[in-house]
Amino acid sequence: MSEVNCLYCGKKIAEDLAECPHCGGVSHYQKRGYRAGARARFVLFFIAVTVFCLFFIFWLPR
Ligand SMILES: [Zn+2]
């Protein structure tokens, strides 16, 4: 486990912490968490938009 400097207070914190234990600031170094969930939601949103477009291409009267 490596350590990084907190962006807000400058103290050393563990790289995988979501928040700085010294000042409570959000860590920008975390590798997991909201980013993975946001990516999955984006893929689902993209698929939904694609299906929506296909519906209008094939099922609407021309
Ligand atoms: Zn801090």
Does residue 20 contact residue 6 with C-beta atoms inside 8 Å?
yes
Distance 43 CA to ligand 1 centre (A): 33
Does residue 15 contact residue 1 with C-beta atoms inside 8 Å?
yes
Does residue 8 contact residue 20 with C-beta atoms inside 8 Å?
yes
Distance 38 CA to ligand 1 centre (A): 25
pLDDT per residue of the chain (62 residues) written in tens, 0 to 9: 688 898 899 999 988 888 899 999 888 766 555 555 677 888 999 999 999 999 989 888 76
Q: Could you tell me the two tokens for 31?
A: 């590798």
Q: Could you tell me the two tokens for 21?
A: 């234990």
Per-residue confidence (pLDDT) for residue 31, from 0 to 100: 59
Distance 32 CA to ligand 1 centre (A): 19
